[in-house]
């Protein structure tokens, strides 16, 4: 996952629009409430949960910790495909599809 | 004095903005490197420290600098640094990370700040004893900066160190790249393998070009400013501010001014803090317990981080989960005590200390990174670390 050059530092997951983001939460296999948690606990919990999921299943993490939107997708690496939704007022959701 | 206050405000607010936008955190830089080989922020730290060293060496050579910070070297750096490293990993933010996240609305990190204050106070009360049982026996020599003793001019020395850093960096990157794409490497150079160092250097040049080109692709600067920034951008911004601070006031430190704030606030609460050796003669140097310019600077970091977070839509009052209170309190106490025992925090030692080539800071950096390593393995014990 970690590329060797400086350009990979700007990689962050694609963002979802409000409607899709709300719809996807209903389809999620698991929703983790990670608000009030700081690094690295969202990463640890995401890795644990993804290991339990079936292939293609969706894990959603709700977080108010900005760095998690980049760190959590990095932490699960190739185990899941990640997308992010930003509310604009400090709340985020991270969508992880088990690969 | 007015000019100094203005500089403190500009440097502090600027640092707050760059730290927040680049998510420039030293725990992140090392923890995520150990946990899953994520080196984005590590590269930012490396770039900031190296470029700052170059700037400072020039300022020193020209005489445009205020002072170095060079505590005596010995095992204190290793022990205090280790305690600090464990503390910052457990708390979830380093000394500077705690400041900018406090500005971003995390009550968790306000609690960490208060706990650090308790750590400074406990240390101050124990200082006379620690002096005889800890500092005296474990300090082996006078602290010094290699700039002051090097036979070659400081900028030349800094350039040599930079070349060394680039060579090591290129070799590491080149090796990783080769491990990832063995077949491709062989194919592109017709079976003749280029050395890892050359391959890594090419990738560094390519990455730098990509980074610069990235700016030309920004069509909406307002929208771009609200998105997270590249840690390299933060590193460059921090470097410029650190150069200004070095020529006008001192090196950049965080926990020293925080420990002074603690003494000052306790004095306002009625305690005669100036009568304690550590506050009175060490931190305030016998000049009385008053607000100093570096105390203003670190307070401005919180304000800068608030401005940046509010602008980006990242500000909100975040209430910590009850099960994270021990992290905020325990991590803060360890950071407060560790930063005094070392002495110095991540900013004082890893960033400023390495940039001024201080002997003490090389040792303290090893201690801090070792603390992060051990604590990361403990936190990730269920899922394992990559390094």
Please list the pLDDT of chain B residue by residue as tens digits (387 residues). Answer: 899 999 999 999 999 999 999 988 899 999 999 998 888 889 999 999 999 999 999 999 999 999 999 999 999 999 999 999 999 999 999 999 999 999 999 999 999 999 999 999 999 999 999 999 999 999 999 999 999 999 999 999 999 999 999 999 999 988 888 776 544 544 455 555 678 899 999 999 998 999 999 999 898 999 999 988 988 999 999 999 999 999 999 999 999 999 999 999 999 999 999 999 999 999 999 999 999 999 999 999 999 999 999 999 889 999 999 999 999 999 999 999 999 999 999 999 999 999 999 999 999 999 999 999 999 999 999 888 888
CA distances A61 to A41, A48, B83, B121, B211, Å, are 12, 12, 32, 39, 31
Instruction: Give the Cα separation of B150 and B160 in Å (integer).
Output: 12
Beta strands of chain B (E only): which ranges? 73-74, 139-141
Instruction: Give the Cα separation of B321 and B291 in Å (integer).
Output: 35
Q: Closest by alpha carbon to B337, among B132, B126, B31?
A: B126
Burial of residue B190 (CB within 10 Å: 0-12, 13-18, 19+) is exposed
B chain contacts of residue A12, beta-carbon cutoff 8 Å: 228
Query: What's the pTM value of the predicted model, to 2 decimals?
Result: 0.91
Residue B366 CA from chain centroid, whole number: 13
Q: Do A40 and B230 count as a contact with CB atoms less than 8 A apart?
A: no
Q: Closest by alpha carbon to B341, among B83, B130, B80, B99?
A: B80
What are the tokens at B284?
Answer: 């305030």
Residues making up chain B, counted from first to last: 387
Residue A9's pLDDT band (boundaries 50, 70, 90)? very low
Q: Do B382 and A66 count as a contact with CB atoms less than 8 A apart?
A: no
Return the residue matching tokens 């025992």.
B341
> Cβ atoms within 10 A of the Cβ of A11, count?
13
Q: Which residues contact B286 (CB under 8 A, 6 or more apart)?
A: B280
Return the residue matching tokens 């350039």.
B159
- Note which residues in 16-35 of chain B have CB less than 8 A from chain A: 23, 25, 27-28, 31-32, 35
In this complex, is the C-beta atom of B378 within 8 Å of any C-beta atom belonging to chain A? no
In this complex, is the C-beta atom of B331 within 8 Å of any C-beta atom belonging to chain A? no
Closest residue to B36, CB basis, from A36, A75, A86? A75
* pLDDT recorded at residue B385: 86
């Amino acid at each position: 996952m970690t590329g060797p050059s400086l350009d990979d530092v700007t990689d962050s997951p694609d963002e979802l629009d409000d409607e899709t983001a709300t719809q996807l939460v209903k389809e999620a296999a698991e929703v983790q409430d990670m608000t009030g948690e700081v690094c690295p606990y969202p990463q640890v919990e995401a890795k644990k949960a993804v290991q339990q999921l079936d292939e293609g299943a969706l894990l959603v993490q709700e977080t108010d910790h900005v760095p998690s939107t980049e760190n959590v997708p990095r932490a699960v690496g190739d185990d899941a495909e990640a997308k992010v939704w930003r509310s604009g007022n400090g709340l985020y959701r991270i969508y992880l599809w088990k690969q | 004095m007015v000019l100094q206050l203005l500089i403190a405000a500009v440097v502090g607010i600027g640092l707050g903005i760059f730290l927040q936008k680049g998510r420039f955190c030293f725990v992140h830089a090392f923890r995520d490197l150990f946990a899953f080989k994520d080196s984005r922020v590590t590269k930012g730290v490396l770039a900031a420290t190296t470029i700052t060293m170059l700037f400072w060496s020039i300022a020193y050579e020209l005489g445009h600098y205020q002072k170095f910070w060079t505590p005596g070297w010995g095992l204190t750096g290793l022990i205090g640094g280790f305690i600090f490293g464990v503390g910052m990993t457990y708390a979830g933010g380093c000394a500077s990370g705690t400041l900018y996240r406090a500005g971003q609305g995390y009550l968790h990190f306000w609690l960490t700040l208060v706990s650090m204050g308790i750590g400074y106070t406990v240390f101050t009360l124990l200082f006379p004893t620690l002096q005889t049982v800890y500092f005296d026996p474990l300090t082996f020599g006078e602290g010094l900066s290699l700039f002051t003793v090097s036979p070659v001019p400081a900028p030349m020395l800094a350039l040599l160190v930079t070349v060394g850093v680039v060579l090591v960096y290129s070799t590491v990157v080149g090796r990783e790249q080769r491990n990832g794409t063995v077949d491709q490497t062989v194919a592109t150079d017709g079976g003749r393998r280029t050395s890892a160092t050359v391959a890594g250097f090419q990738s560094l040049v390519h990455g730098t070009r990509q980074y610069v080109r990235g700016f030309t692709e920004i069509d909406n600067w307002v929208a771009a400013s609200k998105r997270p920034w590249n840690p390299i951008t933060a590193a460059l911004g921090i470097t410029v501010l650190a150069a200004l601070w070095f020529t006008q006031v001192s090196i950049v430190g965080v926990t020293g001014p925080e420990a002074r704030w603690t003494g000052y606030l306790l004095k306002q609460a009625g305690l005669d803090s100036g009568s304690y050796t550590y506050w009175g003669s060490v931190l305030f140097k016998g000049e009385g317990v008053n607000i100093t310019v570096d105390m203003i600077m670190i307070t401005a970091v919180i304000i800068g981080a608030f401005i940046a977070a509010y602008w980006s839509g990242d500000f909100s009052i975040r209430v910590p989960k009850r099960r994270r209170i021990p992290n905020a309190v325990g991590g803060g106490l360890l950071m407060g005590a560790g930063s005094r025992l070392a002495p110095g925090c991540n900013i004082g030692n890893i960033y400023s200390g390495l940039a001024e080539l201080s002997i003490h800071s090389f040792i303290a950096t090893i201690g801090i990174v070792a603390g992060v390593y051990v604590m990361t393995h403990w936190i990730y014990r269920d899922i394992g670390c990559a390094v």
